[in-house]
Amino acid sequence: MQKNKAKIAVLVSGGGTNLQALIDAQGSVIQSGEIALVISSQPGAFALERAKKANIPTAVACKKELGSQTAFEETIKRLLKEYDIDLIILAGFLSILSENFTKDYPRRIINVHPALIPSFCGKGYYGLRVHEAALSYGVKVTGATVHFVNEVPDGGEILLQKAVDILPDDTPETLQKRVMREAEWVLLPQAAELVSKEIIK
C-alpha cells in the first residue's frame, strides 16, 4: 500500500528558524511529506514554541538529563517509533548522533550545513564558527549544503547545494543571516520533498 505522505521528525536545539522554513513550506514545496513531530535537545528551545503554534506534537530529549549518549539516542528512537517516522531532518540540531544511531536510518536522516561541503565542515564547525572560518579564509563564495547523515560529521552524501556570494563588508552575523535566507531556508524544504517523494514511492 502506498503511503500518502512520509512522516517527518525535525530535530532542533535552538530558535528553530530552519524548522519555521519547513513549516512554512508544508503544502507548497513539501507535498510528499508532513512534519509529524519536533524533538528538541534543549527543554527551553524556542523551536518548541514554533511547533506548538503550528499544532505539531513536540518532545524533549536532553542528553544532560538523560545522563548518557545511549539513553539520549534510545529516547529519540523510541519517539520516532511511536510517531511512525519515515524521515529525520536535523535543523540546527547541535548534538552529534553516533554510528549506533545513524546506521539504523540509512538515507533517512538529512542535515543542513551552512557552508559548501567539503569546505568548513566536520567536527567543531557549526553556527557562527562556520561563517567566521569562511571570512577569515577569504573565500568569495559560501552557501549551504543539505546532505544525508552518516557516522562522519558532515560526511554523508550531498543532496543539494546553493552558493551565496560573500560581500566585502560581511560580518559572521550578516553572512549567517544571508546564508539562511538565500540558501538554507530554500534548500531544506526542497530536500525534504525530494526524500519524502522517494520514501512514499
Would you state the pLDDT for residue 96? 87
- Domain with residue 145: its CATH number is 3.40.50.170
Task: Give yes or no for residue 59 having a pLDDT over 50.
Answer: yes
Domain that holds residue 29: 6-200
Nine cell digits for residue 156: 554523508
* 1 within domain boundaries: no
Confidence (pTM): 0.95
Alpha-carbon torsion angle 146, 149, 155, 157, nearest 10 = -60
| pLDDT number for residue 82 | 98
Kindly tell me if the per-residue pLDDT of 2 is higher than 60. no
Q: Is the pLDDT of residue 1 over 90?
A: no
Phi, psi of 49 (to 5 degrees): -65, -45
Percentage of residues in the chain having pLDDT higher than 70: 99
Residue 113: active-site member = yes
CA distance 47 to 49: 5
pLDDT attached to residue 60: 97
Task: Report the domain count for the chain.
Answer: 1
Between 131 and 122, where is the model more confident?
131
pLDDT > 90? residue 3? no
* Residue 146, in any domain of the structure: yes
Q: What is the mean pLDDT of residues 80-97?
A: 95
Q: Is the pLDDT of residue 154 over 70?
A: yes
Strands in 87-90's sheet, in edge-to-edge order, are: 58-60, 33-40, 6-12, 87-90, 109-113, 141-148, 158-165
> What's the pLDDT at 153?
86
Q: Is the pLDDT of residue 123 over 90?
A: no
Per the domain annotation, does 173 fall within a domain? yes
Cell of 131: 561563517
Residue 182 has pLDDT above 80, yes or no: yes
Catalytic residue among 7, 50, 108, 113: 113
Residues 26-58 pLDDT 10s:
999 999 999 999 999 999 999 999 999 999 999
